[in-house]
Structure 1
Amino acid sequence: MERYNVIREKNPREIVLLKGFPCIWGKCAFCDYTDDNSRDEDEMLALNSRILSRVTGEKGVLEVINSGSCFELPEGTREEIRRIARERGIRRLFFESHWLYRKRLEEMRAYMGIPVTYKIGVETFNHEFRERVLNKHAGFKRPEEVARYFDSPCIMVGIKGQTKEMIDYDIRMVKKHFRLGTVSVFTNNTTKIRQDPELVKWFVREYAWLREDPSIEVLYENTDFGVGD
């Protein structure tokens, strides 16, 4: 599995995929990324240290992802991220967090001592689909609630049961309320959630213009950031 890459197009940055403790929720119907979680802290610290050693600071920005939230990274790994940021001239960090940690975001910002852009897996702003189908356990009803805490939502498209109207609304809300966003085309995995190929074809055609939008990154494959498996 690749765990380090340099993104050179939109929002240039280094990106690392680290290991963390189990996700605070871990029951999303579409997610099997939790297989990358661990309870072996020594093993996680060793692996994460090897990956972080590759960070050069060349872009001045580092994105750190794991199969969950940044708060689930071992304390030693968080300390190493902070040290590397100082030593290698990192001016901004990108972290991911579940909605359940929304009251702790400023805590991590203060700890790191540099600006942090927080991503959140919204998946969709359609509350019914997000909670009843995807089982996201994120109880917000309006995008404004998310924007109060987070900087960059990640939405998924191309899921069976999703509609064109839902996708249209989600992308409008990302553009209206957030400076940055990510759109991820759902890829079939080991869960029961399935891709809708016709909806994906429609999205790729209808939203081809997103390729040129500097504020939205589109992942047509879940490894398009150059990390993962």
Structure 2
Amino acid sequence: MDRYNKITNKNNREIVLLKSFPCVWGKCSFCDYIDDNSLNEEEIVKLNKEVLKNITGEFKVLEVINSGSCFEIPKETLNDIKKIIQEKNIEKLFLESHWCYKNRLDEMREFFGIPIIFKIGVETFDNNFRNLVLNKNANFKTPEEVKENFQSVCLLIGVKGQTKEMIKRDIDIVLKNFDYATLNVFVNNTTDVKRDEELVQWFVEEYKYLNSYDNIEVLYNNTDFGVGD
């Protein structure tokens, strides 16, 4: 499992994939990422300390991801991150959060004391598909609700049941409303959700121009950030 990398093609930054406690929701139909979770705090903290040793502060920007939300990272690890931010003069932080924590984001801003870009996996702005098919449990109705709290959204692309029109609408919403976005092309995993190859091929061709957008990152494989397995 690769847990540290430097991203140098867009938004130069260091990225770490940390272990954490179980995801607060943990029931998304497409996600087996939560298998990286643990209840053994000593084990989590020990591994995370080793991963965090890699951070140099080279770009003054750090992204911290885990198999859930930043609020599930142990307190000791959060303290370790804060110490590294101060020692390495890191000026900006990217963190992930589930929709259910939307009213607690300022806790992290106050704790770390530097600007934070919060990412959220909305997967799609189609409310029925997001909640009834993907089982995301993110019950917002409009992009404006998301924009009030999050600066970056993650979309899921190429799942059976999606349509071209749905994807077009999602991308239009992202381009008009958000400073950053990650588009995750779905890769078959251990869940029952399946990739739509025809839809993926259409997306790759139709939206290849997004590769030139500095604020849009398209992950054609789920390890394109250089972390994960």
Q: What TM-score comes out, normalization by structure 2 length?
A: 1.00
**Rounded Cα–Cα distance in structure 1 between residues aligned with 2:80 and 2:115:** 17
2:137 pairs with 1:137: yes
**Rounded Cα–Cα distance in structure 1 between residues aligned with 2:226 and 2:122:** 22
Give the secondary structure class of the aligned counterpart of 2:119.
strand
Correspondence list, 1:51-200, <5 A: 51-200=51-200
Q: Deviations over 1:106-127 (max 9, x none)?
A: 1100000001000000000000
**Rounded Cα–Cα distance in structure 1 between residues aligned with 2:189 and 2:11:** 28
> What RMSD, in angstroms, separates the aligned Cα atoms of the two structures?
0.4
- TM superposition shift of 1:9: 1.1
**Rounded Cα–Cα distance in structure 1 between residues aligned with 2:35 and 2:23:** 10
Q: Deviations over 1:110-145 (max 9, x none)?
A: 000001000000000000100110000000011111
Q: What does residue 31 of structure 2 align with?
A: 31
One-letter amino acid of the structure 2 residue matched with residue 74 of structure 1: P
Structure 2 spans left out of the alignment, 5+ residues:
none
Identical columns (%): 60
**Rounded Cα–Cα distance in structure 2 between residues aligned with 1:225 and 1:30:** 19
**Rounded Cα–Cα distance in structure 1 between residues aligned with 2:215 and 2:41:** 36
**Rounded Cα–Cα distance in structure 2 between residues aligned with 1:89 and 1:74:** 22
**Rounded Cα–Cα distance in structure 2 between residues aligned with 1:179 and 1:29:** 28
Count of residues in Structure 1 that have an aligned counterpart in Structure 2 = 229
- TM superposition shift of 1:215: 1.1
2:2 pairs with 1:2: yes
**Rounded Cα–Cα distance in structure 2 between residues aligned with 1:58 and 1:17:** 18
**Rounded Cα–Cα distance in structure 2 between residues aligned with 1:19 and 1:109:** 21
Give the secondary structure class of the aligned counterpart of 1:226.
coil
**Rounded Cα–Cα distance in structure 2 between residues aligned with 1:190 and 1:65:** 21
Correspondence list, 1:213-228, <5 A: 213-228=213-228
**Rounded Cα–Cα distance in structure 2 between residues aligned with 1:180 and 1:90:** 19
